[in-house]
Amino acid sequence: MKLSATRDVLLKPLQAVIGVVERRQTMPILSNVLLVARGTELLVTATDLEVELVARADVSVETGGEITLSGRKLLDICRALPEGSAVDLAVSGEKAVVKSGRSKFSLATLPAAEFPTVEDIKATQKIEVDSGVLARLIEKTHFSMAQQDVRYYLNGMLLETVDKQLRAVATDGHRLALCEAELARKSGTEQQVIVPRKGVLELQRLLGDEGPVTVELGPNHVRIQVEGIRFTSKLIDGRFPEYGRVIPKDTTNELTADRTALRAALQRTAILSNEKYRGIRLVIRPGGITIQAHNPEQEEAEEELEVEYAGEDIEIGFNVNYLLDALGAIDGEEISLSVLDSNSSCLIRSPGKEDSKFVVMPMRL
């Protein structure tokens, strides 16, 4: 295998895939990237057995072939070379030699045949969606995913296709975020898949503001083509909770507030909340809301805020971080907050918009 390219052309695919290369691996080959040179292109593949990324670059291939070598070392070498410099990469025996100007690096290799790749995901459904739309679905929901929960199906995001809608849902059992988007044409069969947390965060990094994206859903994998990068992730095998049952339907006691003002008031009050539990109390009454917090040092904070509300008087406690995350994900100037009573979940959304919903469970204070 022998190829030539500029430093910048080699750097781009390496930076795109390096996120899934683990520093500490039980299998040494997983700290390597797979390089496949053929025709006029170089394919760079990285995997951690859960997420696989393949990026391509246009290079000058003298001799085709495939090999694996340390992803981080190759990336560091390319980063350290001067911008625009020419780079030659040749494989001889069990060594790969990288030359640029007066610099020469000899790297250890492992056989390409040992590198685990996912070829066919046996896709049952293919969806065309705009990159910005998919990025928005993830941005509005990813913060509600669980982290290392024993209920493994919560450690990821549900992607669901229903008629002409693509829906993303995430929950950690204490809060839930839902966002949906209209597809250009009707999807095939209704399908639910759970994408693991790492896959979701890696995909969020790859997606841009615009451009077409192809989403393929298979029984065990999801594959997404983003510009010159192919993302493949294993799916979590489990049944996602019936999220529709936890979204409050009764919105009798609904208050409307300025999103920025409420967020700022919550942030100020949270300064004196319990650092571990982050609990705050909302005292809701017609025309106004009082936000209260206290901590084990007997310190207290209280903030008054004018809101539009004509329902019953309610006192309810919440984890302030959950409220702030939801308010941060809403686009509009105003927010609507609905709560039935002091023991019921709270529904947060932008007034008049049904495409994004956030549910926060109350906490006892």
Mean pLDDT to the nearest integer, 278-302: 96
For residue 198, the 8-state DSSP code is H
CB 231 within 8 A of CB 208: no
Query: pLDDT of 301-323, one tens digit each?
Result: 999 999 999 999 999 999 999 99
Fold designation for 2-114: DNA Polymerase III; Chain A, domain 2 (3.10.150)
Q: Report the sign of the C-alpha dihedral through residues 180, 185, 189, 194, in that order.
A: negative
Confidence bin at 352 (pLDDT 50/70/90): confident
Mean pLDDT to the nearest integer, 294-302: 95
Mean pLDDT to the nearest integer, 202-216: 91
pTM here is 0.92
Three-state secondary-structure class, residue 172: coil
Pick the CATH number of 247-360 from 3.40.47.10, 3.10.150.10, 3.30.450.20, 1.20.1560.10: 3.10.150.10
Confidence bin at 15 (pLDDT 50/70/90): very high
For residues 64 and 55, give the distance between their C-alpha atoms in angstroms, rounded to a whole number.
17
Residue 225's CB is within 10 A of a number of other CB atoms, namely 15
- pLDDT given for residue 163 in this prediction: 85
Three-state secondary-structure class, residue 123: coil
- pLDDT given for residue 24 in this prediction: 75
Angle between helices 320-329 and 259-270 (to 10 degrees): 150
- pLDDT given for residue 190 in this prediction: 86
Q: What percent of the chain has pLDDT over 90?
A: 89
If residue 327 lies in a helix (H) or strand (E), which one and from where to where?
helix 320-329
Confidence bin at 355 (pLDDT 50/70/90): very high
Query: Would you kindly state where each structural domain of the chain is located, as residue ranges?
Result: 2-114, 125-245, 247-360
The CATH number given to 125-245 is 3.10.150.10
Same fold, 125-245 and 247-360: yes
Mean pLDDT to the nearest integer, 122-150: 95
